[in-house]
Amino acid sequence: MYAGWKQFLNWLDLHRKQRLILLPETSKYKILIIRLSSLGDVLLTTPVIRALSKKYPNSQIDYVVKKQYSSSLRYNPLISSLYIYEKEKARGIKDQIRKAKYNLIFDLQNNWRSCSLTFELRTEIKRFKKPTLKKLLLVWTKINLLKEIKPIPMRYAETTNLQLDDKGLDLFIPESINPKLEPGKKYIGICPGAKHFTKRWPEEYFIELGIRLKNQNCTVVIFGGKDDLELCKSVSSKIESSINLCNNDDLLQTAIDMKQCKHIICNDSGLMHTATAVEVPITAIFGSTVREFGFIPFLSDDTILENNSLSCRPCSHIGRSSCPQKHFKCMKEISPNTVFDHVKSFL
């Protein structure tokens, strides 16, 4: 059975391959990147933006992204224009794309929304080749054809036929934004939120960890977005002298405050990639998802803690609202003591 699946998927990959037009690197082109969501996925495209700018230095690079993630790109000097995607304005954006007459379009989202923006365009379009079948095979049968752990930026680069440099993610913050934290203090950040339940280390574990860090003369700083407001408030209330900087999705304020921290402890979430982009060492706790999916910290000083003893992992490639096995061992068996002992080495 395994050999048959492997042969089928290799055949599918072969027939999906598309040859990228080799454009003279000295000419000026109009290039469009489409990645609508989510925060981490958008940040993971920034090495590709750099690579395109280096390969075609005289070219214009534009980008289509959802409004709630646009601040991650707004101040990127390599991007000429941002199209802010909203469902009700999709037709208007499609018209603007058609009139702009791009030489190359890279659809790094490759779903029905992104495809609809470029439908019927007579432009060279390269779409991100998602390993969807391999992911589903790993989730549902535990047959692993993703044994080579390849970070998402490298998979994006394969779509664009580009060579990435040795730098990590980019997140540009204007000088007008000032940190709320005083410089020079022993801040340790924690990010208790994540979109899906099975990607969240238990709240009580973050609290226990925070108390132990506080007893090591650290000031615990709590980060999150608007979906994490209640969670962060609850965690902060139980850690004496902690600073709750959870906000209404003000990404750039969060990022500049993260830069003041010595270390960040987080789940597999958008804020994990945010901390990576501002070059703060991180400890990431993975539950229902695994490294093989590629959404790991990219070229950063990081450690991933995960429970590799379970046969039920991964149970999803994006996360679930509850543990299908009802025990949630993937997170519960990673104890606060384990995380504390690891983080202590950075202190």
Give residue 315's pLDDT: 97
Give residue 184's pLDDT: 85
Instruction: Assess whether pLDDT exceeds 90 at residue 28.
Output: no
Burial of 148 (0-12, 13-18, 19+ CB in 10 A): exposed
**Would residue 9 count as lying in a domain?**
no
**Would residue 229 count as lying in a domain?**
yes
Give residue 7's pLDDT: 53
Q: Is residue 105 a contact partner of residue 126, using CB atoms and an 8 Å limit?
A: yes
How would residue 26 be classed by pLDDT, with cut points 50, 70 and 90?
A: low
Residues 325 and 241 in one domain: yes
DSSP secondary structure code for residue 183 in this structure = T
Nearest Cα to 76, choosing from 170, 7, 208? 170
Q: What amino acid is encoded at 216 in this protein?
A: Q
**Would residue 180 count as lying in a domain?**
no
For residues 331-347, give the mean pLDDT: 94
Least confident of 143-147, 235-239, 276-280: 143-147
CATH number at residue 262: 3.40.50.2000
Residues 153 and 192 in one domain: no
**Would residue 3 count as lying in a domain?**
no
Task: Please report how the helices 336-344 and 203-214 are oriented relative to each other, as an axis angle in degrees rounded to 10.
Answer: 40
Over residues 190-239, the pLDDT tens digits come to: 999 999 999 999 999 999 999 999 999 999 999 999 999 999 999 999 99
Residues 200 and 298 in one domain: yes
Instruction: Return the SS3 of 221.
Output: strand
**Main-chain dihedrals φ then ψ at residue 335, nearest 5 degrees:** -80, 155
Over residues 158-180, the pLDDT tens digits come to: 988 899 999 999 999 999 999 99
Owning domain of residue 45: 22-160
The distance in angstroms from the start CA to the end CA of the chain is 49
Residues 138 and 236 in one domain: no
This prediction's pTM: 0.92
Residues 216 and 322 in one domain: yes
In total, how many domains does the chain have? 2
How would residue 12 be classed by pLDDT, with cut points 50, 70 and 90?
A: very low
Residues 38 and 99 in one domain: yes
Token representation of residue 83 = 């199209």
Q: Other CB atoms closer than 10 Å to residue 19's CB: what's the count?
A: 7
